[in-house]
Amino acid sequence: MKNEDEPKDKRLKPGDAQKLTMAEVAKYVGVSAMTVSRAFRQDASVSEETRKRIMEAVDALGYVLDLSAGSLSSRRSGFIAALVPSINNSNFSDTARGITDALQNTGLQLLLGYTDYSAEKEEELIEAMLRRRPEGIILTGGSHTARARRMLAKAGIPVVETWELPEDPINQVVGFSNSEAMALLVRTLAGQGYRKFGYIGGTTARDTRGSQRRSGFQKTVEELGLGPGRMISFGVPPITMEQGGQAIVSLLERWPDTEVVLCVSDLSAFGAIMECTRRGMKVPRDIAIAGFGDYEISSICHPRITTINVDCYGIGRQAAARLLHALQSGEATGDEITLTGYKVVLRESTDRNGAPTA
Amino acid sequence: MKNEDEPKDKRLKPGDAQKLTMAEVAKYVGVSAMTVSRAFRQDASVSEETRKRIMEAVDALGYVLDLSAGSLSSRRSGFIAALVPSINNSNFSDTARGITDALQNTGLQLLLGYTDYSAEKEEELIEAMLRRRPEGIILTGGSHTARARRMLAKAGIPVVETWELPEDPINQVVGFSNSEAMALLVRTLAGQGYRKFGYIGGTTARDTRGSQRRSGFQKTVEELGLGPGRMISFGVPPITMEQGGQAIVSLLERWPDTEVVLCVSDLSAFGAIMECTRRGMKVPRDIAIAGFGDYEISSICHPRITTINVDCYGIGRQAAARLLHALQSGEATGDEITLTGYKVVLRESTDRNGAPTA
DNA sequence: TCATCAATTGTTATCGATATCATATAGTCG
DNA sequence: CGACTATATGATATCGATAACAATTGATGA
């Protein structure tokens, strides 16, 4: 079947670098392989003149360092792993960007995986990552399978859990209380006079941040004596814009007099608002709607959406910073919790005056 | 400065896995390391009974395979690299998802990097990737620095360029003509009676897909005898929702009688529509607006946005499939071009009847 | 002037798994 | 029954860089 002996692909000229090794570069320059190895690192002691000659040879030959060999020997893989629920969510991709930026010039690279909001998939990914011996690992959330926890414990590398405040942290934490953030939003809106609160979120407990927001909502509504919240669960997290639209329809069918609806994220809030608009309801005149996460869309759409701004980028930066610190200080750092900020952003979608804009 | 000899971090119990090796697992079970190695692969010949015993030991000891060692020996790194302009763009994250899905059960992992629409950053990333010896690499677009091209040629691995049809392909291509896709949209809208066309895009040539769309627009408008298009360039790609809003203001100031505006992406189209709405203009009654990319938002927002649907996910899947094919057939595959589909999706934002919905 | 030291380079062993070849054992078949 | 084959396992060399230590050189200073 296979024609192995056919002439090689045209882009592979016979004598090409293909398997060029450090030793060959060394021979070419007339030094030892070790010297070439040193030339690739800034710290090492190589005379400027030698390094220049080596680098010229590297260029001429087209040699590319082989880290997989180096990392075996140095026992440093040169990357850190990060797992996020979804790459298709700008909150998490901002966090990924924060990590990448913090890793600049550290010689560490980011290996990203996404768990699709599933603890099982997370477990698989953790194993896949650990097989490549990352120097540290950043996780989203604090709920992991037992085996995942065991693997992480054994790995002996710094672990940072983000975006939440887990009850039983593995190691370090960089995040905030989703439940308190949502509570703050409820209190703020109650302070503006809203009384009949609805909530739209996903069905299962897969999205732990979602459940925390939900419970923060529920608890606060009750504390304020505003009766039980009107909760609609719609679909498996992450709930989409479209599901947000469907959810608000159900919610309003069941509780037509709802005054304000809080959504587990801006995306569902946006879907809900659009669906209302489409049905001839004015937001916030007929109903107020708020989201969570402060996605770009919320400051652009019409009406602009009230939300909780979360420091997504900062979470990434700080998580990476904690990791770097742990690595530098010889892994002797204890477990710490770094709180990141959040704030209510009041916008048109919950404006008591009703007229979103002139 | 550092206290290297302090007691180790509490979470690392002395006897822990830390440096558990395959040889130790082998000794524990009473077989050779080679047999343990085989047990980890399905294809290898190990008796079911031995494999079971080994896997139990692996579990009991908490051993995790070390791929960095294995890949040095087997000369297979077990991953493929993909570079996208931005992870924070759902078009590209759909492509990334397509790649990941296609890689399921192949033993290959995806290593993702983002270039931020910069050829220099791409070059850096290509080098960083090649240092880890990926078995293949997927790029976005066809414009690369000379050094990047040289490195890729020398690497001797399959390369897939995506999302475009480069004039001078490196190896394989999976994509479509952005210029023709945009041309199709212009023709479709012209067919509906629109005559005065505007265009909103980014300023520089950094985003080659953007420039191609622009030139497809320009060319077609002229071909149809609709005068030169009214082009507004706004900001460095990727242009944001907000910039879309600013751009349409400029465009309408300059050419108030414009009938329809095409945007380089749905995101800028959305921003433009919201800005119009905010200023009391009705879309499409007062002005029609269309986007490119068929992002989720475009089917949800109000009015829904006319756009070009691109098979983002399919691009990823097929790019990975081409790569896998090349790897299986002993890298002897020639350069091929795989065309992916696109289609015009007509929605409310360009509806000639003007009334988006009841 | 000779010991000492810093700077630079070389030598050798090694990281941990796997390719490759060798070997043992059991089953098959004319 | 002997040769042959398939299956299961082991022994050893090796992948390509780097750690660790050794060696060389020239400079410095008492």
Instruction: Note whether B171 and B183 are same-domain residues.
Output: no
pLDDT tens figures, B253-263: 999 999 999 99
pLDDT tens figures, A156-174: 999 999 999 999 999 999 9
Does residue B318 fall inside a structural domain? yes
Instruction: Note whether B222 and B278 are same-domain residues.
Output: yes
Q: What is the pLDDT of residue B132?
A: 96
Q: Is the pLDDT of residue A59 over 60?
A: yes
In this complex, how many residue pairs, one in chain A and one in chain B, have their CB atoms less than 8 Å apart? 159
Which value, to the nearest 10 degrees, does the dihedral of the CA atoms of residues A86, A88, A93, A96 take? 50
Strands across the sheet containing B337-339: B109-114, B79-84, B137-140, B159-162, B172-175, B337-339
pLDDT tens figures, B38-66: 999 987 688 899 999 999 999 999 999 99
Instruction: Note whether A282 and A204 are same-domain residues.
Output: yes
Q: What is the pLDDT of residue A358?
A: 37
Q: Is the pLDDT of residue B7 over 90?
A: no
Instruction: Note whether B171 and B222 are same-domain residues.
Output: no
- Eight-class DSSP state of B4: T
Q: Is the pLDDT of residue A28 over 90?
A: yes
pLDDT tens figures, A302-344: 999 999 999 999 999 999 999 999 998 865 567 899 999 999 9
Residue B130 token pair: 């090649």
Instruction: Note whether A84 and A31 are same-domain residues.
Output: no
Q: Which residues contact A194 (CB under 8 A, 6 or more apart)?
A: A259, A260, A288, A350
Chain A CB contacts of B66 under 8 Å are 131, 133
Instruction: Note whether B285 and B205 are same-domain residues.
Output: yes
Residue B32's nearest nucleotide, by CA–C1', is: D10
Does residue B285 fall inside a structural domain? yes
Q: Which of B's residues 188-207 have CB atoms within 7 A of nucleic strand C?
A: none
Average pLDDT over residues A252-259: 96
pLDDT tens figures, B320-358: 999 999 998 865 567 899 999 999 999 999 998 864 443
Q: What is the CATH number of the domain that holds B60?
A: 1.10.260.40
- Calculate helix-pair angle for A119-130, A146-155, nearest 10 degrees: 20
Report the range of poorest mean pLDDT among A99-103, A226-230, A246-250, B223-227: A226-230
Cβ distance of B333 and A9 shorter than 8 Å: yes
Q: Is the pLDDT of residue B89 over 80?
A: yes
Instruction: Note whether B271 and B202 are same-domain residues.
Output: yes
Q: Which residues contact B224 (CB under 8 A, 6 or more apart)?
A: B186, B187, B190
Backbone angles phi, psi at A165, to 5 degrees: -120, 90
Residues of A111-147 as b/e, b for ≥16 C-beta within 10 angstroms? bbbbbbbbbeebbebbebbbbbbbbbbbbbbbbbeee
Q: Is the pLDDT of residue A11 over 60?
A: no
Q: How many domains does chain A have?
A: 3
Q: What is the pLDDT of residue B332?
A: 55
Q: What is the pLDDT of residue A42?
A: 80
Report which of A304, A309, A310, A308 is spatially closest to residue A351, judged by C-alpha positions.
Answer: A304
CA–CA distance, B61 with B53 (Å, rounded to integer): 12
Does residue A302 fall inside a structural domain? yes
Average pLDDT of every residue of chain B? 90
Does residue B2 fall inside a structural domain? no
CA–CA distance, B307 with B326 (Å, rounded to integer): 34
Instruction: Note whether A95 and A191 are same-domain residues.
Output: no
Q: What is the CATH number of the domain that holds A269?
A: 3.40.50.2300
Report which of A307, A314, A300 is spatially closest to residue A265, judged by C-alpha positions.
Answer: A307
Residue B308 token pair: 């070009």
Q: What is the pLDDT of residue B345?
A: 98
Instruction: Note whether A37 and A109 are same-domain residues.
Output: no
Tell me how far apart the terminal alpha carbons of chain B are, to the nearest angstrom. Answer: 73
Q: Is the pLDDT of residue B17 over 70?
A: no
The integer distance in angstroms from the CA atom of B152 to the C1' atom of D17 is 22
- Calculate helix-pair angle for B90-103, B312-328, nearest 10 degrees: 30
Chain B CB contacts of A245 under 8 Å are 300
Residue A36 token pair: 């070439």
Cβ distance of B154 and A17 shorter than 8 Å: yes
A124 touches A147 (CB < 8 A): no
Q: Is B264 helix (H, G, I), strand (E, B) or coil?
A: coil
CA–CA distance, B15 with B61 (Å, rounded to integer): 11
Does residue A233 fall inside a structural domain? yes
Q: What is the pLDDT of residue A329?
A: 80
Average pLDDT over residues B135-158: 96
CA–CA distance, B319 with B99 (Å, rounded to integer): 7
Average pLDDT over residues A84-95: 93
Instruction: Note whether B114 and B214 are same-domain residues.
Output: no
Q: Which residues contact B218 (CB under 8 A, 6 or more apart)?
A: B199, B228, B229, B231
Q: Is B351 helix (H, G, I), strand (E, B) or coil?
A: coil
- Nucleic acid strand C within 7 Å of A73 CB: yes
Tell me how far apart the terminal alpha carbons of chain A are, to the nearest angstrom. Answer: 72
Of chain B, the percentage scoring pLDDT greater than 90 comes to 82
Final residue belonging to a domain, choices B31, B65, B99: B65
A240 touches A270 (CB < 8 A): no
Q: What is the pLDDT of residue A356?
A: 42
Does residue A155 fall inside a structural domain? yes
Structural domain containing residue B138: 76-177+312-341
Q: Which of A17, A330, A333 is opposite residue B2, by nearest beta carbon?
A: A330
Average pLDDT over residues B111-129: 95
Q: Is B227 helix (H, G, I), strand (E, B) or coil?
A: coil
Q: Is B260 helix (H, G, I), strand (E, B) or coil?
A: strand
Does residue B237 fall inside a structural domain? yes
Average pLDDT of every residue of chain A? 90
A259 touches A229 (CB < 8 A): no
Average pLDDT over residues A201-220: 91
Average pLDDT over residues A259-288: 96
Q: Is the pLDDT of residue A64 over 80?
A: yes
A48, HSE (Cβ side, Cα atoms, 13 Å) = 0
CA–CA distance, A25 with A31 (Å, rounded to integer): 9
Q: Which of B10, B112, B127 is opposite residue A64, by nearest beta carbon?
A: B127
Q: What is the pLDDT of residue B193?
A: 95
Q: Is the pLDDT of residue A19 over 90?
A: no
Q: What is the pLDDT of residue A299?
A: 97
Q: Is A208 helix (H, G, I), strand (E, B) or coil?
A: helix
Does residue A154 fall inside a structural domain? yes
Instruction: Note whether B173 and B318 are same-domain residues.
Output: yes
Quick one: pLDDT band at residue A18, thresholds 50, 70, 90? Answer: low
Instruction: Note whether B183 and B247 are same-domain residues.
Output: yes
The integer distance in angstroms from the CA atom of B43 to the C1' atom of C29 is 28
Beta-bridge mates of residue A33:
none
